[in-house]
A and B are shown apart, each in its own frame.
Chain A
Amino acid sequence: MFRNKECVAMLLAGGQGSRLYALTEKTAKPAVSFGGKYRIIDFPLSNCINSGIDTVGVLTQYQPLVLNEYIGNGLPWDLDRAHGGVKILPPYQGKDGADWYKGTANAIYQNMAFIKMYNPEYVIILSGDHIYKMDYSKMIDYHKKMNADCTIAVIDVTLEEAKRFGIMSTDENSKIFKFAEKPQNPDSTKASMGIYVFNTECLFKYLTMDAEDPNSSNDFGKNIIPQMLSAGEKLYAYPFVGYWKDVGTIDSLWEANMDLLGENPELSLGDEDWRIFARHGAQPPQYIGKDAVIENSSLTAGCEIYGTVKNCVLGAGVKVLEGATVCDSVIMDNAVIGEGSEVMYSIIDSDSVIGKSCKIGAPIKSAKGIAVIGEDICVPDGTVVQDGAMISKASDLDKEGK
């Protein structure tokens, strides 16, 4: 017999992240690399373990192979537990047929049996799309203090940004009285972070009602929350202050990486009290060659630098060979930048090899956009890839390249 869990986390990790284009060709968005040695999902998973939540269901659907392999038994996050720990929850076949997860709410609905195994008082719903450090236990305390049925974490955004988010209107006690999904004329700047704490019973009630409604799109933001509001349930907004970034687009992913650099970086990963854990292999230390130049950059294990690296975030095992220059770019695990090549304002995904004397992207000041090279692509010697180009597979090089 094991103790019941106070809170179980359900992490929605099935999204494709279609606005990351080439980067999510073969991997689900939560498994996209970030900050050199992390993947996006490391943030919610580390937040869970740092907040004392040791039972996490990860709902997968789109391209789950890399994600499944990455999470494995949960060892890097101390989530390999005798009872609880991290569990992958893919869509499954039931007695009445098989269903994909139709929406965020439907994904949880189909896994209510998983939650029941631990008999928790609270369920926290998370998504694998954001970079942030947050103590969920404080939010759960707030939820208890407010005696709420559901608590939604919100962050203050500008009125302009508010048009892109689900916006909460609250009274002076932070009680939510109105919810608007991507409003044209927002009347609040409290944006939903997609983090919900529910009383388990209340969650199950609304999920079941929602599942019975054939017109519902089975989404928390679109259906469950409005339903609960109109039924007069107690919904509260929990204000979060700190770094939080949606990395759903190429630009925001690049920006979030750059937030790690500079004199006083906006996001620090070296915080001993709130460590971000990640799975990584046995890579040797970094080696910096005799003629290397490195400025304002973040490097990790296995990197070998013989050229010039400026304002970059490099993943594990990245090699920058003699005479190569890499500026204002994010280079993911094991990519190689060949001799004399120039990479500017680009994102290069893992295992790609840039040949000799290539030119990828344009200087950040004049570029139309970020050049992106997808995973495991071999770019032949002398190739020129225009700024803003998106290379998902080798054949794209002929179209967009030279």
Chain B
Amino acid sequence: MSVVGLIFSNIHDSSIPELTSKRTMASVPYGCRYRLIDFPLSNMVNSGITKIGVIAHNNYQSLLDHIGTGKDWDLARRSGGIKILPPFISAYAGGSSSKLYTTRLEALYGVMSFISRCNEEYVVLSDCDGICNIDLSKIVDEHAKRQADVTIVTRKITEDETDNNDGIVVSFDDKDVVTDVSTYVAGTFGVEVSTNIVVINRLFLLSALRDAGAHGETHFYHDLIAKRLRRAKIFRHLCEEQYIQIASLESYFSSSMKLLESNVRDKFFNVENRPIFTKLRNSAPTIYASGSSVKNSCIADGCLIEGTVENCIIFRGVKVGRGTVVKNSVLLQDTFIGNNVSLNCVITDKNAVICDGRVLSGHSTMPFFIPKGTMV
């Protein structure tokens, strides 16, 4: 099996502008010590994919910082490994490549030279808005066995899903052959939408991209896929694993809180042979001081907990002061919380500082967000 991975790092930035104003969707922190890109990256690495291109668009400093040489995912390689593919903008105004891409299809045009230089048989595309731990090699095997051109990995929309901005509904027949792709209408349940994890034959992708370009197509699903439903063999594969999509600040909050359920944690983090890798920070262990009280919380290394913490997700390097009570909150990296503070349903971005005695509260349906580096 020879597969190259392609990850779109910016595609869903508009979903949670609060967290992506200064970073890509790919580098949004999640689950105490991870960034969203760790999930597609680890899934690829665990499936034996060792050549991965990460398509960047804007704001990708934090992404570069997180990926580094790729050694934390064992992707620092002489041949293959990880490559960040920044946008290619011509120096001459007015040229066809003088503006940034706006759609998935245009993003793929931009990296056509990368795709054509590969010699792998298959390409796996993935976004960064889904949290899952899945074995992609099984999906690629199935794709190869069916001699498919495209396999779209789908998931079922269940009733507890409240927001799904721009999902693509995938319709299919009894042989899993895709018959239609359409835009999701909010409030419909039971349908299957694309996870945007897509397996494509590399040569098919290249010729489809050239053809799509010649015909002025702009949308990956509505044009490139829809217009080839009859000509090409396009299948769907239902993802049966735990899959959480982050589509808004509210769903970021609720999906973070899901990690307090042990079966969810197990399905993401304790799968045999499929660990989720992340950039190692070499934090010291977390210290729980005398007088601290921690219940039902996930906590990263490098923290100092002196107060009371309940139902929280706490990232690396957070300090919670004495007499402070933090409940139902997500505290990102290096948040500093002074003494005698009370927080409930709050999301603090990186390096936020909450001074002594502050009382802040949101609601689980509308968490109170404190931007990066803000002092309250």
Contact = CB atoms under 8 A, between A and B. Distances in A.
A292 interface: yes
Interface string A78-106: 00000000000000000000000000000
B262 A299 contact: no
Given A288-B295, A295-B290, A301-B301, A269 B285 contact: yes
B280 interface: yes
A169 to B, nearest CB: 39
20 contacts: A37-B284, A260-B285, A261-B287, A263-B290, A270-B302, A282-B278, A284-B31, A285-B298, A285-B300, A286-B298, A287-B265, A287-B297, A290-B296, A295-B291, A297-B287, A298-B287, A299-B299, A300-B301, A309-B288, A313-B285
A281 interface: yes
Contacts of B260: 287
B275 interface: yes
B31 A285 contact: yes
- Which applies to chain A's interface (DSSP): helix, strand, loop or mixed? loop
Contacts of A294: 288, 292, 294
B96 interface: no
A374 interface: no
B277 to A, nearest CB: 5
Interface in B172-229: none
Interface in A278-329: 278, 280-282, 284-301, 309, 313-314
A270 B278 CA distance: 20
B366 to A, nearest CB: 25
A277 interface: yes
For chain A, which range describes its interface: under 10, 10 to 19, 20 to 34, or 35 or more residues? Answer: 35 or more
A278 to B, nearest CB: 7
Given A285-B31, A295-B290, A35 B298 contact: no
Contacts of B282: 76, 275-278
Interface in B257-284: 260, 262, 265, 268-270, 275-278, 280, 282-284
Nearest to B311: A290
Contacts of B33: 284-285, 301
A289 B262 CA distance: 10
B110 to A, nearest CB: 32
A367 B290 CA distance: 23
A285 B299 contact: yes
Contacts of A288: 294-299, 309
A15 interface: no
A285 B32 contact: yes
Contacts of A293: 293
A294 B301 CA distance: 15
Nearest to A46: B282
A381 to B, nearest CB: 23
A338 interface: no
Contact of A289 (B287, B291, B295): B295
A166 interface: no
A269 B284 contact: yes
A296 B302 CA distance: 15
B326 to A, nearest CB: 13
Interface of A: 35-37, 75-76, 260-261, 263, 265, 268-270, 275-278, 280-282, 284-301, 309, 313-314
B285 A299 contact: yes
B2 to A, nearest CB: 25
Contacts of B283: 270
B67 to A, nearest CB: 16
B302 A289 contact: no
B146 interface: no
A300 B296 contact: no
A103 B79 CA distance: 44
A37 B276 contact: no
Contacts of A301: 33, 300-301
A286 B299 contact: yes
Nearest to A282: B275
Shortest 3 CB-CB distances between A and B: which pairs? A285-B32, A284-B269, A282-B275
Nearest to A36: B285
A68 B285 CA distance: 24
Contact of A286 (B268, B286, B291, B296): B286
B4 to A, nearest CB: 23
Nearest to B313: A285
B64 interface: no
B360 interface: no
A297 B278 CA distance: 25
A301 B275 CA distance: 13
Given A277-B282, A278-B282, A282-B278, A287 B287 contact: no
A46 B290 CA distance: 30
A37 B71 contact: no
Contacts of B31: 284-285
A296 B290 contact: yes
Given A286-B300, A287-B298, A290-B296, A299 B278 contact: no
Contacts of B286: 286, 298-300
A279 B284 CA distance: 12
Contacts of A76: 280, 282
Given A263-B289, A284-B268, 10 more contacts: A268-B284, A276-B284, A280-B280, A287-B262, A289-B296, A296-B289, A300-B285, A300-B301, A301-B300, A313-B285
Contact of A297 (B288, B293, B298): B288
Nearest to B274: A282
Nearest to B283: A270
Centre residue among A75, A294, A313 by max chain B CB count within 10 A: A294
Nearest to A290: B296
Nearest to A305: B294
A292 B300 CA distance: 17
B290 A270 contact: no
Nearest to B305: A294
